[in-house]
Amino acid sequence: MENKRTILLTGSSGFLGTRILSKINKNDTVYLLSNKNSVSTLNPNHFEITINELDNFAKFDKIIHCAGRTKGNASDIWESNYQLTKKLISISEKNRTYFLFISTLNAGLNQKGPIFFGSVAITIRLKPNQSCQKIHASLRELYDPSKVARIEKWVANEEPEDTARAEEKIRGPDKKIGTCFMLETIRKEDAISILEQLPTQTLQVEIGIYQLLCEYPKAIKA
């Protein structure tokens, strides 16, 4: 006889969650992590719990994480997609629990032909010796963790030279920059939204936007 398991399932009221729940052994004890949407189930072995109650449970045999949020305010998206996932990973590592994370990152990999996907990078280039104070202030106002994956600041490691190098005399002078900020977003529309709000003329900077593509020549099977 199969041992009875204790399972934590997130997203149990969603499209995937309801179907996963229907396939779990009816004798298993399943804790359904819920928020605003109540989960309707007649199984006496199914129990609803909240995020705040997670720490009260000693151990789960399995954690199945298929919850995600794409709509709502930035704070709710951040809590659901990042903080909750981080907490579940921490519980899994602490108790050496089987952890299954279902994500749509690679959705569509079964299509024919090469597949392209990747993030979008915005570059904000400053001239040598140009102050970064206004840029810092603007980026603090525009920063939204649900849209911006990371921000990096690149600084030239040498002072610009007045005289052209030998190779520059052949192919033409390089364009010198002092500092460059790089913002990476997952969605193109988020990058465009940031660019529209950035006061480029006031800041007197040069802006670039690039699609960082990763190509898979054919479908990948897990």
* pLDDT digits 0-9 by tens, 75-118: 777 777 778 888 888 888 888 888 888 865 544 445 555 555 56
Is the CATH number of domain 6-101 3.40.50.720?
yes
- Indicate whether 198 pLDDT > 60: yes
Q: What is the per-residue pLDDT for 219?
A: 46
The band of 221, judged by pLDDT with boundaries at 50, 70 and 90, is very low
Pull the structure tokens for residue 77.
């998206």
Domain boundaries, the chain: 6-101, 115-216
- Indicate whether 40 pLDDT > 60: no
For the residues 52-59, what does the mean pLDDT come to?
A: 78
Q: What is the per-residue pLDDT for 114?
A: 54
**15 φ, ψ (degrees, to nearest 5):** -60, -50
**For the segment 124-179, what is each residue's pLDDT rounded down to a tens digit?**
888 877 888 888 888 888 888 777 888 888 887 766 565 656 666 666 666 667 88
**For the segment 16-29, what is each residue's pLDDT rounded down to a tens digit?**
888 888 888 888 99
Please say whether the beta carbons of 190 and 211 come within 8 A.
Answer: no
Q: What is the per-residue pLDDT for 8?
A: 92
Q: How far apart are CA 99 and CA 23, in angstroms?
A: 17
Q: What does CATH list as the number for 115-216?
A: 3.30.70.100
